Amino acid sequence: MAMTHTRCPQRHHLHFQFSNVTFFIFGPLMMFLMYPYAQKRSRCIYITWILFMVIGLFSMYFHMTLSLLGQLLDEIAILWLLASSYSIWMPRCYFPTFLGENRPRFTCLVLITTVVSTFLSFLRPVINAYALNSIAVHILYIVFQEYKKTNNEELRHIMEVSVVLWAFALTSWISDRVLCSFWQWINFFYLHSIWHVLISITFPYGMVTMALVDARYEMPGHTLKVRYWPRDTWPVGLPYVEVSDDKNC
């Protein structure tokens, strides 16, 4: 992923390409694991995973060429991924007041804003990284608000893990930029690769978090259960949701 216009110079770029492999593994796998959920909620969810893989592709292109075009394509793909996630999972209670709770209107507003932002990114590309992380902070605010509302331990746990992963990813990105001289001094050139891997893991956790939050508002007749691939009993795994009808509804 980009967010790297002034990142610390790297000695080798091969490890960047390997760090992007997770995008091409997790993308198709999550599309498969989340298939039952997508059929119940919205098939537009597939768009988010396609964009997730596009980010990996553009990130590889950027790190092979180190071109401004590569950086812009990478960051624009991230922007559209966030926009599609907003459109699908943003709880209606957080919509702007003038939209009421009308999701199609909200989606149109997000679409227009994203198109305008896409054109503006070509004019002032240096602010893209900070703008994208600002959006992430807004998502973090929503997660915090929903965390206070729920007593569901499963939802609270997935929220906590998502925030911790995002914090570690952001720390590695900031450290790569701010402490460049130090990392060069100790001959450690892999922080940006660590950012790639961590953020590619963070998104599946974030998606499951938003799916669980969204279900409280949009899927009252269904119960969502968090599962982990490859096994629920393993200490680490890729989260997804299993949907079942609420027989008490």
2 is a domain residue: no
Torsion of the alpha carbons at 137, 237, 83 and 47, rounded to the nearest 10: 180
The verdict on whether residue 13 carries a ligand-binding annotation is no
The verdict on whether residue 222 carries a ligand-binding annotation is no
The verdict on whether residue 63 carries a ligand-binding annotation is yes
Q: Residue 95: what pLDDT?
A: 93
8 is a domain residue: no
90 phi/psi in degrees, rounded to 5: -60, 120
- What is the amino acid identity at position 210? M
Q: Residue 186: what pLDDT?
A: 81
209 phi/psi in degrees, rounded to 5: -60, -50
Q: Residue 236: what pLDDT?
A: 84
- For the chain, the domain total comes to 1
Instruction: Tell me the CATH number at 93.
Output: 1.20.1070
127 is a domain residue: yes
**From the centroid of its chain, how far is CA 43?**
18
DSSP string covering 8-46, please? PP-S-SHHHHHHTHHHHHHHHHHHHHTHHHHHHS-TTHH
- Tens place of pLDDT per residue across the chain (249 aa): 655 444 565 544 555 556 788 999 999 999 999 999 999 999 999 999 999 999 999 988 888 887 888 889 988 999 999 999 999 999 999 999 999 899 999 999 999 989 988 888 888 877 777 677 778 788 889 999 999 999 999 999 999 999 999 999 989 888 887 887 877 778 777 777 888 889 999 999 999 999 999 999 999 889 999 999 999 888 789 999 999 886 654
199 is a domain residue: yes
249 is a domain residue: no
- Angle at CA 16, nearest 5°, toward 11 and 20? 175
Estimate the crossing angle of helix 153-178 against helix 128-149, to 10 degrees: 160
DSSP string covering 67-99, please? -HHHHHHHHHHHHHHHHHHHHHH--GGGS-GGG
248 is a domain residue: no
Q: Residue 211: what pLDDT?
A: 95
> Which residues span the domain enclosing 154?
13-243
